[in-house]
Structure 1
Amino acid sequence: MKRYDVVVIGAGIAGLECASILTKEGMSVLLIEQGAVPGGFFQPFRRRGVTIDSSVHYIGSLDKGQFMERFFSYLGIMEMVDFVRMDNDQFESVCLEGEVFPFAMGHSNFVERLAGFFPKEKNGLQRYADAIKSVSLLSIEGVRRGEGFSKESMEAITTSVGEEISYYIKDVKLRRVLMGNSIIYLGDEKVTPFYVHAMTNNSYIESSWRIRGGAHSVTEAIASKIKSMGGEIRCSEEVKSILVEGGKSVGIETKSGERILSERVISTIHPVHTSDMLGADSGLKESYRKRVAELKNSPGMFCLYLIMKQGQYKYINRNFQLLGEIPVMVSMQPPQNGSEFAEVITLIAPMLYDDVAKWSDSKPGQRGDEYCEFKKEFSDKLIKRAEVVLPGLNSSIEYSCSASPLTFRDYIKTPMGSVYGVVKDCKRPLSTFLPVKSRVENLYLAGQSINLHGVMGVTFTSLLTCSEILGGGVAKKVGL
């Protein structure tokens, strides 16, 4: 029986990154995934011959020398993916009370553009920009040292985003604008740590990029690199349990009954599911299981995917964040073949699982007319909201389909359709930021529920996890 150095559970972006790092550094790795293909939230779907991104709409920090560019270059995939740089002076338009406020790339540019609307707050904006940059730099330094959070960054973890922004900014409207893209991390000004806001916003302000051809081209590129270096990927294989002997993880058992042995195991799935895979012989205390089970998950999303009539609507190389009772993000996929017209537009809004809980026992495609009517009514609201910035949108739609929290629950297997994993709470940092080294020896954790969500946040955590296994030095090889 073959014994691996590491078995990685879950082939979303976290699992792919961990498997790629460890394989590149000479370890024998098996990446195992219950879905038919790797990718997680990067998975696309097709309708009417068009490939549609399900969840990932843009990535930050990809300019030369920036965090994600260094990491993807280390993996060897930068030239394998068609990244499209968004508008430099307005990669994001925050729409509030009839006004449009630009988020620009580059910290100085970001400050100057917003100061044009809020001249009295220019100094505060500069201090805010310096603060989010500082949090990011301190966090990267923590990765270099292999310690995760540096002592210096703890203040950003235990301070709410609302409190910290108010410290720099006096104008109430500007405070709302700076929180304008909070839909991308479902931020709550009283609960969300400033750390989450700073790491997310700083990444996009450094540089923002879309992906022509679909976000899945990133995960496909990483998967191909894993295989080329001798790593193994097995899909359509569900893990039943994590094997533990003498207090140490020694492998996994699949639902088909196969036992696969390894020196170490990395779980990139939700901590609750990881806990469920550990039997009584794992030594995991019931108090810990209970604490994990009680962790609050982020809300879900409702995504409306619009395939546009050919040549009807011009492509716009920035996102719109529409603030209001129903916050909506509007994003376009880069068109193929150099076309100037949009092919796919996605409208995204937060949605609680409770909104769809009455259909929770149903299966995809069998939820009934009432559910379809519910989705149609909500879709119509989103289109009406989006027409504020995209006039004539409704008449330009060829075809539409949508995804609710039930969709993400059933296809991505996240608890209650949560899109960003465990909610990070500035008042409970020790409970909601989980260490990459688990309570079971040789069992490690990664993924968006551990440290930070999003591509950059998950990558940050993957590096920490692999540093624990490899004994450091990974950050230096990446070039951080």
Structure 2
Amino acid sequence: MATRPSAVIIGAGASGMVSALLLAMHGYRVSIVERAKEPGVTLRGFLKSRVYFDSGVHFVGELSPHGVLTAYLRYLGIRDLPSVEFDRNCFETVRFSDRGDFSLAADYDKMLAGLCADFPAEKEGIHRYMADVKAAYYSSAFHTLQGSPIRDETDPRWHIPLQDYIAGYIRDPWLQALLAIPCLYHGVSPENVSFLQHARVAGTHFGGVRTFAQGGLSLVKALEQRLAEEGVVLHCNRSAVQIHCKSEGTLSEVELDNGERLGCSVVIYTGHPGFLPQMLPEKALRPTAVNRMHQLYDGMSAHLLYLSGGTEPPLLLDKKNFLYCQHARSFTEAFKPLHRGTAGPFYIMPGPSVLNRESGQFDSIDFVAAIPCDAAEYRAFYGTGNGKRPSAYRTQKKQRLKELYASLCRTVPEIEGLRLVDGATPATLQKYLYSPGAGMYGVAHDITQFNPLPVTRVAGLFVAGQAVTGPGVMGATISAFLACGYLLDHQNLLNGVRTCR
């Protein structure tokens, strides 16, 4: 009887759990190493004052019954995971301080019609730009489940900065800002993200936007159940400290912080790429690759305010998100250093208790307000979260959250009655995301840096995660299929997913 190949997955976020499940489904003996006490720590959300806050999964594209993400989940054996839909006619309300409110639909045709109605002089440019977004989104086989999964057939024009691409079609500054709003979903400024990368995030909303009815915790539980069914072994509260290779350069084992060694012929690393070189033998990677990984920087950081109050949401937030932008600050400034956040932008999102309140399963409704900021003011406190935080940090956090909450209430009077229950700072993100730059989405997909490829110089070592493909549950899932496809055949995997659609 042939020996089953063995694999170690480093990191039990969405990409790590999906990678482990894929390999186990195809005959591998799989172990996952996770430094947190349980898998999916950033997806689980948390309870505070008897209110559940979905801190890691705010909204998800392609989750409709015919959505691509739904097909991926079905292929993994996760079926009928309940989801709830945002208002398709008005997924987002965007308020400019000097121009009023604009509604953005979560539907390609409705969004197109709405933008043309609000900006009739820009109709031709809107049609051309939106058609390009759609074409760029569907140029990926991982979104269409058709064509070659690893052949790049994208238009060279799509690799220029988003800001320049929009300006090639649109003159109105407010419309330019509206089309760049999805930068908040990937954390990179319109000046620095390519049009293609942006389109592959923005395009996920063209078929409606949903979230899991019971929050991100329900997705984690479903993945945990499937991992158990496939015999995957979890090593939680453990860190991988060294990846060992044989003399000929092939993988041999992964060493944990307690001295345990896990034999393997495959490793999929899903942590921050900057930490990978130190785990490998010297010269395992080319010096240029090591330098690039060490120089990677994160995207936008933020304060997160967790709000609650009553059982009925403000009309402004009833199954829809809200964004406020101040005219005195261009939208791109939200992504620049030295930005404290008190002037906005303010992005407020209803949680599953709002979208699913008819179920009667939630005692109180919840909202998350994301306020982009410069992470540097908390850098002195990075790495202090394993025990009680220093008093200086606690004082600073309390003061900043109070300041931001007051600014939010003054700016958006409709949220009167929502109380501040808790909050997160860039230091919180650094702790739970284990990301050196405290970016909400980890490594920035910035045109000025080289994001890691899934394949490495070390045979059997692959990289997955948001840093490779893109943000969110969708990006993490695709990255797992991309990495595992080098072992299991990309085309076979996508053919299997297509049968589940």
TM-score (norm 2): 0.87
In structure 2, distance between residues paired with 1:110 and 1:203: 13
Deviations 1:415-441 (A, max 9, x none): 132222222223x4xx52321001211
Counterparts of 2:461 and 2:383, CA distance in 1: 33
The residue type equivalent to 1:344 in the other structure is D
Counterpart amino acid of residue 92 in structure 1: E
Give the corresponding residue for 1:104: 105
Show the 5 A alignment for 1:243-282. Answer: 243-245=244-246, 246-280=248-282
Following superposition, the deviation at residue 50 of structure 1 comes to 2.2
**Contact 1:10–1:31, Cα closer than 8 Å, also in 2:** yes
Quote how far apart the aligned CAs of 1:337 are. Answer: 5.5
Matched, 1:137 2:158: no
- Within 2, Cα distance between the matches of 1:138 and 1:58? 23
Residues 312-346 of structure 1: CA distance to partner in whole angstroms, max 9, x if unpaired?
75661011122234212101112256359961111
Unaligned residue ranges in structure 1 (runs of 5+): none
Match of 1:401 among 414, 418, 422: 422
1:178-208 Cα distance to aligned partner (Å, 9 max, x none): 1124222123122111122101111022220
Please list the CA deviations of residues 197-255 of structure 1 after superposition, one character each: whole Å capped at 9, or x if unmatched: 10111102222002222212112211211211222222112111111112122231111
Aligned to 2:450: 432
Distance 1:168 1:389, change over 3 A: same
Would the alpha carbon gap of residues 233 and 436 (structure 1) be closer, same or farther in structure 2, given more than 3 Å must change? same
Q: CA RMSD in A?
A: 2.5
Deviation digits for residues 45-99 of structure 1 (CA, Å, limit 9, x no counterpart): 22122222222201001223322121122123241x3211110101111221342
Preserved CA contact (<8 Å) 1:83 1:212: yes
Are 2:294 and 1:293 aligned? yes
CA deviations on 1:349-400 (whole Å, 9 max, x unpaired) are: 122221212434644643325643454334433453355445252x442x51
Q: SS at the partner of 2:444?
A: coil
Paired residue secondary structure (1:284): coil
Q: Deviations over 1:252-304 (max 9, x none)?
A: 11111111111211001111111121122x52233432221011222322111
Find the aligned partners of 1:331 and 1:268 in 2 and give their Cα distance: 28
2:329 corresponds to = none
Q: Which residue of 1 aligns with 2:366?
A: 344
Residues 41 and 412, structure 1, Cα contact 8 Å, conserved in 2: yes
Q: TM-score, normalized by length of structure 1?
A: 0.91
Does residue 458 (structure 1) correspond to residue 479 (structure 2)? The answer is: no
Partner of 1:8: 9
Q: 1:390 to 1:58 in 2, by over 3 A?
A: farther
What secondary structure does 1:447 align onto? coil
Given residue 478 of structure 1, which amino acid in structure 2 is its aligned partner? V
Q: 1:11-40, CA deviations, whole angstroms, 9 ceiling, x for partnerless residues?
A: 000101111222222322212211111114
Residue 74 of structure 1: aligned partner: 75
Separation in structure 1 between the aligned mates of residue 151 and residue 364 of structure 2, nearest angstrom: 41
Determine the C-alpha separation between the residues in 1 that align with 2:187 and 2:359: 33
Counterpart position of 2:127: 126
2:168 is paired with a residue of what secondary structure?
A: helix
Whole-Å separation in 2 of the counterparts to 1:129 and 1:238: 44
Does residue 1:232 correspond to 2:233, yes or no? yes
Kindly indicate whether the alpha-carbon contact (under 8 Å) linking 2:211 and 2:352 is maintained by their aligned counterparts in 1. yes
CA contact (8 A) 1:305 1:346 kept: yes
CA 1:205/1:377 → structure 2, altered by over 3 Å: closer, same or farther? same
Distance change (3 Å), C-alpha of 1:152 and 1:299: closer
Aligned to 2:493: 474
Comparing 271-280 with 305-314, greater Cα deviation is found at 305-314
Q: Which residue is 2:190 aligned to?
A: 189
Secondary structure of the residue aligned to 1:168 is coil
Question: Which residue does 1:29 correspond to in 2?
Answer: 30
TM superposition shift of 1:462: 1.5
Distance 1:416 1:436, change over 3 A: same
Gap change, CA 1:248 and 1:12, over 3 Å in 2: same
Contact 1:421 1:448 in 2 (8 A): yes
Deviations 1:429-457 (CA, angstroms, capped at 9, x unpaired): xx523210012111000001112222222
**1:374-413 alignment, distance < 5 Å:** 374-385=397-408, 388-389=411-412, 391-393=414-416, 395-397=417-419, 399-413=420-434
Q: Given the alignment of the two structures, is residue 91 of structure 1 paired with residue 113 of structure 2, yes or no?
A: no
- Pair 1:141–1:406, CA change in 2 (3 A): closer
Residue 175 of structure 1 and its aligned partner are, at CA, apart by 0.5
Structure 1 pair 312/100, CA: closer, same or farther in 2 (3 Å)? closer
Change (3 A) 1:27 1:355: same
Alignment correspondent of 2:115: 114
CA distance in 1, matches of 2:300, 2:175: 25
**CA spacing shift, 1:114–1:203, aligned 2, 3 Å:** same
2:373 is aligned with 1:354: no
Aligned twin of 1:320? 322
Q: 1:144 to 1:154 in 2, by over 3 A?
A: farther
Residues 188 and 300, structure 2, Cα contact 8 Å, conserved in 1: no
Q: How far apart are the structure 1 equivalents of 2:235 and 2:383?
A: 29
Structure 2 Cα separation of the partners of residues 383 and 182 of structure 1: 25
Change (3 A) 1:273 1:383: same
CA contact (8 A) 2:397 2:425 kept: no
